[in-house]
């Protein structure tokens, strides 16, 4: 049976997994779960994932419900090497650290803003939201002062998670390249990946359309 990924294009975590899939060159069936239509709350989806989140990966009897866990599962199973998720414990710890940073900080602020939009309460980007997003840029600039990628010297799944979250942050609080040159350079490297445009362009347009339809926020396009 083929792998099945339940996803939504506007979801940064969904796109992070899709970038991993493209990088690995594996065949996966994509099933769109429309969150606005509450398809994630339907009984058939809740049976697969009681957390009702996307992305959700189904690999025969194995169901994985978190984007970071999905990527960490796919690389060892399907990659010819371990560069995207190293076997070396010290290198892997750095990747895991940045994946947790994405969960708890980067994506969390995008998620909370989008959640407000679903509730009809996202008319503007509040000052405290701007402060948190800017703090995220500061952290990333510090990381990228030390290494060319967010978790080390080479591209890893941590970069896939970070770039999809950062692009969501960037449309709310545009990144000033003069203040964050390392961050801007890293973003250009990620955008130059052969599969970046295929995965992210549609999803970013969907996210921008969603936010602008429910708010007065002038987003960066």
The residue from 11, 14, 67, 161 that is catalytic is 11
Quote the pLDDT of residue 161: 98
> Residues with Cβ < 8 Å from 138, sequence gap 6 or more?
none
Q: CA-CA-CA-CA torsion for 108, 130, 143, 168, nearest 10 degrees?
A: 50
Answer for the pair 3, 58: CB distance below 8 angstroms, yes or no: yes
**What does the block give as tokens for 217?**
């926020």
Q: What are φ and ψ of residue 31, in 5° steps?
A: -120, 115
Global pTM reads 0.95
In angstroms, the CA 100 to CA 139 distance is 14
| Domains within the chain, CATH numbers bracketed | 3-78 (3.40.30.10), 89-214 (1.20.1050.10)
Quote the pLDDT of residue 220: 61
Residue 213 bears catalytic tag: no
Quote the pLDDT of residue 221: 59
Q: Which residue has the tokens 């792998």?
A: 3
| Residue (of 200, 171, 166, 211) closest to 184 by Cα position | 166
CA distances from 130 to 69, 93, 162, 216, 220 (A): 29, 29, 18, 15, 14
> Residues with Cβ < 8 Å from 145, sequence gap 6 or more?
182
For 23-81, list the strands marked E by DSSP.
Answer: 28-32, 56-59, 62-64
pLDDT 10s per residue in the chain (221 long)?
Answer: 689 999 999 999 999 999 999 999 999 999 999 998 999 999 999 999 999 999 999 999 999 999 999 999 999 999 999 999 999 999 999 999 999 999 999 999 999 999 898 888 888 899 999 999 999 999 999 999 999 999 999 999 999 999 999 999 999 999 999 999 999 999 999 999 999 999 999 999 999 999 888 877 766 65
DSSP category for residue 104: I
Helices (H), strands (E): how many in the chain? 9, 4
Q: How many CB atoms lie within 10 A of CB 124?
A: 11
């Amino acid at each position: 049976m083929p792998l099945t990924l339940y996803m939504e294009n506007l979801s940064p975590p969904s796109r992070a997994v899709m970038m991993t899939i493209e990088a690995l060159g594996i065949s996966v069936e994509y099933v769109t779960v429309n969150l606005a239509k509450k398809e994630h709350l339907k009984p058939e989806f809740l049976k697969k994932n009681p957390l009702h989140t996307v992305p959700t990966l189904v690999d025969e009897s194995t169901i994985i419900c978190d984007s970071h866990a999905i990527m960490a599962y796919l690389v060892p199973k399907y990659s010819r090497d371990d560069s995207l998720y190293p076997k070396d414990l010290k290198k892997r710890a750095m990747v895991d650290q940045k994946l947790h940073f994405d969960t708890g900080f980067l994506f969390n602020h995008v998620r909370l803003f989008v959640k407000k939009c679903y509730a009809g309460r996202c008319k503007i980007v509040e000052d405290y939201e701007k402060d948190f997003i800017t703090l995220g840029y500061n952290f990333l600039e510090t990381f990228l002062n030390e290494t060319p990628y967010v978790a080390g010297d080479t591209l890893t799944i941590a970069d896939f998670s970070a770039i999809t979250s950062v692009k969501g942050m960037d449309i709310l609080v545009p990144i000033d390249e003069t203040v964050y040159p390392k961050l801007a350079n890293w973003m250009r490297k990620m955008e130059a990946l052969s599969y970046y445009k295929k995965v992210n362009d549609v999803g970013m347009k969907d996210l921008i359309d969603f936010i602008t339809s429910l708010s007065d926020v002038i987003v960066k396009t």
